[in-house]
Amino acid sequence: VLCVLRGRSRRDGEPPLIKGWIPFIGKALEFGRDAHKFLEEHKKKFGDIFTVQIAGKYMTFIMDPLMYPSIIKHGRQLDFNEFSNTVAPFTFGYPPVISRKFPGMREKIKRSFHLLQGDSLTPLTESMMSNLMLLFRQDHLEERPGDDGGWRSGSMYEFCYTVMFEATFLTMYGRPLSAIRHSRMGVLREDFIKFDIMFPLLIAQIPLWLLGQTKAIREKLINYFLPHRMSCWSNMSQFIKRRSEVFNQYDSLTDSHKAAHHFAILWASVANTAPATFWAMYYLASHPEALQVVRQEIHDVLGLDGVEFTSDRDVTLSKEQLDKLLYLESAISESLRLSSASMNIRVAQENFDLRLDSERSVAVRKGDIIALYPQSMHLDPDIYEEPQTFQFDRYMQDGRERTDFYKNNQKLKHYLMPFGSGSSMCPGRFFAINEIKQFLCLLLLYFDVQVEDGQTRATLDSNRAGLGILQPTTDVRFRYRLRTV
């Protein structure tokens, strides 16, 4: 009993072990408050590798980004499925995927991810373009006489969320057979946001019955995707169609479980993209000189040659044109660097020595978690000069994308990791960048955009540190006006 209460003690060859004074909960509370600060302080004290007891788990953090490649390329001994097979099913309400009940399902799901990439990216991107255009045209582009000199005000986060939520939904799942938009999108979005607020608690595997209305809200969201509902939608993406086909091959998967899988994809495709879009818009709007360069680049790629763009024109940008928007891409990368805080997790499958570089290795025990926390790299002044400053062209060099970044004079293989790493890397990353680009193109072509005066700078809410793109602590007021008024 004493042994359980005391927890484990450090063995030879293992990294320094840091335990909290409360057994089990360990350092979870401190970590949860501000993960970046917590890790920086521990790095100063214990060096680049240390093990922390967090919420009953032993997590070994590898803080030196020069060591990242050795973790990322590790195959057999470090597994990344734990999250997708236990935490995600618990959070979204479907049974574990890797199970005797569903032979081959995980592999089939993995294979469906290519429908978000490569050649499939073209129809997906085209569909997103027309959906964004539809929403801009119906909701924002009509002139409203009587406004203050043509200026309208809005809340920036809400603006980005509303547009990206509906456009992504339409692109992924399609529209009703009899209409061009779903009628209750506002209610769906509000329920989704209520669920998303509880997301960090669900990921920590707090039982649903402790989380008030969350169970009912999740059920409502899942029910939206029941097969009899989805069968009345048209223009569905190949990706969602393929997933439906896979689920239909398993009789033991109930309709509600199928729907829960679809709901999980809605979450994956919106919950990070919406705040990422916000940060890119916010940083551009608050750096007019950067906004000017990016807008000019869009005009150049569209071949407008100084001709003013008018609001009666529709914007279409092909995938090739989007690929040419390098300053815009750099600005998006820079905002991802400043706002992303995802943790990369691997679980040790056996006791073994984990080699970190040519000199060092550490002993790891079966079941231990190895964690990379790229935010520490993103904000490292040795890699990024003035890391807290938004420099829109940080990822540009001589008119091309910059890919060489250094630590201790050594070139880094990984220097920007908002999408995870290795085999568990986000399969939607190319689509995500394209849709953020499309949103910003429409915004900058049609509108003048300004952050309203008298507000403090937007800050990151560290509430979901480790889980993806951080949200702003409070929304930002902005004004926008048709450029041709």
> Pattern 430-459, binding to ligand HEM, x per CB under 6 A?
-xx---------------------------
Least distance (Å) from ligand HEM to the CB of residue 273?
Answer: 4
CB distance 52 to 18 below 8 Å: yes
Task: Point out which span in 183-191, 339-347, 361-369, 455-463 binds ligand HEM (CB under 6 A).
Answer: 339-347
Q: How far is the CB of 39 from ligand HEM (least distance, A)?
A: 17
Binding window for ligand HEM (CB under 6 A); candidates: 30-38, 144-152, 201-209, 417-425: 417-425
- Of 1-9, 33-41, 144-152, 427-435, the window that binds ligand HEM (rule: CB under 6 A) is 427-435
Q: What is residue 71's three-state secondary structure?
A: helix
Assess 424 for contact with ligand HEM (CB under 6 A).
yes
Least Cα distance to 438 among 332, 307, 313 occurs for 332
Pick from 84, 86, 256, 463 the residue near ligand HEM by CB under 6 A: 84
CB of 342 to ligand HEM, least distance (A): 4
| Binding of residue 420 to ligand HEM (CB under 6 A) | yes
Nearer to ligand HEM, 272 or 311 (CB): 272
Q: Which residue is nearest to ligand HEM (CB)?
A: 428
Let me know if 456 is exposed, middle or buried by CB neighbors in 10 A (0-12, 13-18, 19+). Answer: exposed
CB of 311 to ligand HEM, least distance (A): 28
Q: Does 85 bind ligand HEM (CB under 6 A)?
A: no
| Separation of alpha carbons 458 and 132, rounded Å | 26
> Do residues 334 and 385 touch, judged by C-beta distance below 8 A?
no
Beta bridge partners, 54, equal: 26, 57
Determine which residue in the list 26, 93, 427, 472 makes contact with ligand HEM, applying CB under 6 A. 427
The residue range among 174-182, 270-278, 282-290, 394-402 that interacts with ligand HEM, by the rule CB under 6 A, is: 270-278
Size of the site for ligand HEM (CB under 6 A): 24
Which amino acid, 352? Answer: F
Provide the 3-class DSSP secondary structure of residue 217. helix
Q: What minimum distance in Å lies between the beta carbon of 309 and ligand HEM?
A: 27
- Separation of alpha carbons 49 and 362, rounded Å: 9
Q: Minimum distance from CB of 264 to ligand HEM (Å)?
A: 8
We find the least distance from the C-beta atom of residue 89 to ligand HEM, in angstroms, to be 11
Strands (E), 374-472: 396-397, 400-401, 406-407, 410-411, 447-451, 460-461, 467-469, 471-472
Phi-psi region of 429 (alpha: psi -120 to 50; beta: other; left: phi over 0): alpha
Three state DSSP letters for 242-282: HHHHHHHCCCCCCHHHHHHHHHHHHHHHHCCHHHHHHHHHH
28/416 with CB nearer ligand HEM: 416
Q: Does 331 bind ligand HEM (CB under 6 A)?
A: no
The phi, psi pair for 69, rounded to 5°, reads -55, -35
Binder among 342, 375, 376, 438 for ligand HEM (CB under 6 A): 342
Nearer to ligand HEM among residue 276 and residue 369 (C-beta)? 276
Q: Which is nearer to ligand HEM, 20 or 428 (CB)?
A: 428
Name residues contacting ligand HEM, limited to 343-382 (CB under 6 A).
344
CA gap 207, 122 in Å, rounded: 41
Cα separation, 224 vs 296, in Å, equals 42
Cβ(196)–Cβ(271) below 8 Å = yes
Alpha carbons 210 and 216: distance in angstroms, whole number: 12
Residue with Cβ nearer ligand HEM (244 or 344) = 344
Asked whether position 120 contacts ligand HEM by CB under 6 A, the answer is no
Find the shortest distance in angstroms from Cβ 427 to ligand HEM.
Answer: 5
For position 260 contacting ligand HEM by CB under 6 A, the verdict is no
Closest CA to 131 of 178, 177, 164, 179: 164
Q: Please tell me whether residue 217 binds ligand HEM under the rule CB under 6 A.
A: no
List residues binding ligand HEM (CB under 6 A). 83-84, 116, 268-269, 272-273, 276, 340, 342, 344, 418-421, 424-428, 431-432, 468-469
